[in-house]
Amino acid sequence: MNNHFNIKNTAVALDIGTTKVCAIAGQLNEYGKLEIVGMGVVRSEGVSRGVVSNIDKTVKAIREAVDIAEKNAHCKFRIVHVGIAGQHIKSLHHHGLLVRHDSNTEINQGDIDKLIKDMYKLVLPPGDKILHVVPQEYTVDDEQDIFDPIGMSGVRLEANFHIITGQISASRNILRCVEKAGLEVADVTLEPIASAASVLSDEEKEAGIALVDIGGGTTDITIFKDGIIRHTCVIPFGGNVITKDIREGCTVMNEQAEKLKVKFGSAMADEIVDNRIITIPGFKGRDHKEISEKNLARIIQARVEEIFDYVLWEIRRSGYESKLIAGMVLTGGGSLLRHIDLLSEYHTGLPTRIGQPIEHLAHGYSSQLASPIFATAVGLLKHTIDNFGDKVGYVEEFKKITEEPTFRSQADESRVSQPKNDQGVDDSSEQDDDETLTENGKKNGLFNKLFSLTKDFFETVPDSEF
């Protein structure tokens, strides 16, 4: 973490998710890479399926996350860029036409801006507003499939547009929460677009790729081809429905179900070889419960397959199924499930990798940031700097805190509210568990070693962040 930086060139992004609220501040270094100067993550309780459901709880979480990031960055934040998601997000395609009066002059950026501005005049269903207008291909007179018409001559300039819409009320609630937390909103960006900015390379976008961001409450899909966004959508469920299935299938508490998913969960039952028995402590005075690892994986696999069914349906609906040469990238907290990339390949037939938001980070970044959980937050920051530049006024001077906290020590101070490693579990406790498993496996046999392992796990491990 770099505490010696020019605050005037610092941008601030805010990811308000179903499971966590993340505030992140950073700037581009001399090599064009993102240098993170402050970050704060707290648990989110006021957001349901990507939409604000409790304003007071969301305001509290935003304020806490921003406070942590401000202490790290040694400055006060004033203006933030915010992400938006939720099942209300829709997309449509529209055709635009501009007749130019002077055919001798070259087409310039002003002509393209006028075409895009016209798209914002579209009549939408009541309560909807346009969030993004993404140009696809242009046509100049009769010449089609032009990606950059600037500098050409012609009378008729036409273009196809991908238009993303959302509910005004959802945007308003986000703005209200941020303003109540004492901040200004510079812009609202669709979260799938932000995630793509952090985990996809230019080559993948050119070849054709589907990005699937499996969050806590929603699964966001973005399809790229020829470097252009071709399709976006939001599926209204994510990792939380997997937890809910485990809770009902194993008749356990929600916290226990989440820990089962994080610690022992697998997206493919066939990949479970030793089929260990997991022991869950019962309530006071009651017997403990036993669940086989394979049965747990079967519960998870059924729901993950359903998510991929929806993903595949959206890819087919976009018309780009046969054009995704680079396949699929999974990111978000849900992508941390073991073997989920294998299941994706078997189920969709597309080559799959897990996307970590390290594509554009400067050397020496924190290992915490390498988790797919932070793909949206890092992507929001990247999208902000790319599209709005390093504007003056995002942050202001802040009185130096008595103790100079580093990024790592600040994370340690907020143990309960911040994820610890890639899967939201404390590294030290995980190492202890592994040692217990190895030692007890030699001395006490399978049942005893697993009983002590899981009993200790359910009593000590903090909650997951996805």
List, for residues 49-61, the tens digit of each pLDDT value. Answer: 888 999 999 999 9
* Closest by CA position to 385, among listed 225, 110, 186: 186
Tokens representing 379 are: 């992507």
Residue 266 CB neighbour total at 10 angstroms: 23
**With 70 as the cut, is the pLDDT of residue 400 above it?**
no
The pLDDT of residue 232 is 92
**How far is the CA of 25 from the CAs of 186, 200, 381, 444, in angstroms?**
14, 21, 7, 50
pLDDT at 388: 75
Percentage of the chain modeled with pLDDT above 90: 54
Identify the residue whose tokens are 């238009």.
163
Q: Which residue has the tokens 């393209």?
A: 112
Which pLDDT value is given to residue 286?
Answer: 78
Q: Is pLDDT above 90 for 180?
A: yes
Is residue 127 scored above 80 in pLDDT? yes
pLDDT at 441 over 70: no
What are the sequence ranges of the domains in the chain?
90-166, 201-356+425-466
In the predicted structure, residue 442 carries a pLDDT above the cut 70: no
d(CA 37, CA 416): 22
Take residue 326 and report the two structure tokens written for it. Answer: 């680079």
In this prediction, residue 209 has a pLDDT band, given cuts at 50, 70 and 90, of very high
Averaged pLDDT score across all residues of the chain: 82
**What is the per-residue pLDDT for 406?**
41
pLDDT at 456: 52
For the chain, percent of residues with pLDDT exceeding 70: 82
Residues 288, 280: contact at Cβ < 8 Å?
yes
Torsion, Cα of 194, 200, 203, 205 (10° steps): -50
The model's confidence at residue 157, banded by pLDDT at 50, 70 and 90, is very high
CB atoms within 10 A of CB 171: 19
Fold of 90-166: Dna Ligase; domain 1 (3.30.1490)
Contact between 231 and 35 under an 8 Å Cβ cutoff? The reply is: no
- Residues facing 129 on adjacent strands: 166
**Residue from 37, 57, 38 nearest 46 by CA:** 57
What are the b/e assignments for 188-220, b being 16+ CB within 10 Å? bbbbbbbbbbbbbeeebbebbbbbbbbbbbbbb
pLDDT tens-digit profile of 316-340?
999 999 999 999 999 999 999 999 9
Beta strand extents in 64-124 (DSSP E only): 75-77, 79-84, 90-99
Render 126-168 in DSSP notation, one character per residue: TTEEEEEEEEEEEEETTEEEES--TT-B-SEEEEEEEEEEEEH
Long-range contacts of 384-388 (CB under 8 A, 24+ apart): 384/11, 384/12, 384/13, 384/81, 384/186, 384/187, 384/189, 385/11, 385/26, 385/27, 385/28, 385/34, 386/197, 388/11, 388/81, 388/186, 388/187
Q: Kindly report the number of other CB atoms within 10 A of residue 167's CB atom.
A: 19
Q: Which comes out higher in pLDDT, residue 463 or 436? A: 463
Beta carbons within 10 angstroms of residue 391's beta carbon: 14
Identify the residue whose tokens are 């470097």: 227
Give SS3 for 309.
helix
Does residue 408 carry a pLDDT above 60? Answer: no
Q: Nearest 10 degrees: CA dihedral of 242, 246, 247, 248?
A: 100
Contact 357/321 with Cβ under 8 angstroms? no
Are 464 and 259 in contact, with CB atoms under 8 Å apart?
Answer: yes
Query: What's the CA gap between 322 and 327, in Å, rounded?
Result: 10
CA distance 55 to 16: 12
Mean pLDDT value across residues 152-172: 92
Q: Kindly state the average pLDDT of the residues 240-244.
A: 94
Look at residue 432 in the predicted model and tell me its pLDDT: 42
Reported confidence tier of residue 342, pLDDT bands at 50, 70, 90:
very high
- With tokens 């399978």, the residue in question is 446
- 8 Å CB contact between 436 and 97: no
Other C-beta atoms within 10 Å of 115: how many? 20
Confidence of residue 389 (pLDDT cuts 50, 70, 90): low
Task: Give dist(CA 374, CA 364) in Å, integer.
Answer: 16
The pLDDT-based confidence of 364 (bands split at 50, 70, 90) is: confident
What string of DSSP letters covers 231-289?
EEEEES--HHHHHHHHHHHHT--HHHHHHHHHHH-BS-GGG--S-PEEEE--STTSPPE
Tens digits of residue pLDDT in 192-204? 999 999 999 999 9
Which tens digit of pLDDT belongs to each residue from 263-290?
999 999 998 888 889 988 877 777 888 8
pLDDT of the residue at 248: 92
Whether 433 shows a pLDDT value over 60: the answer reads no
Pick the CATH number of 201-356+425-466 from 3.30.420.40, 2.60.120.10, 3.90.226.10, 2.60.40.420: 3.30.420.40
Closest among 57, 13, 64 to 40, alpha carbons compared? 64
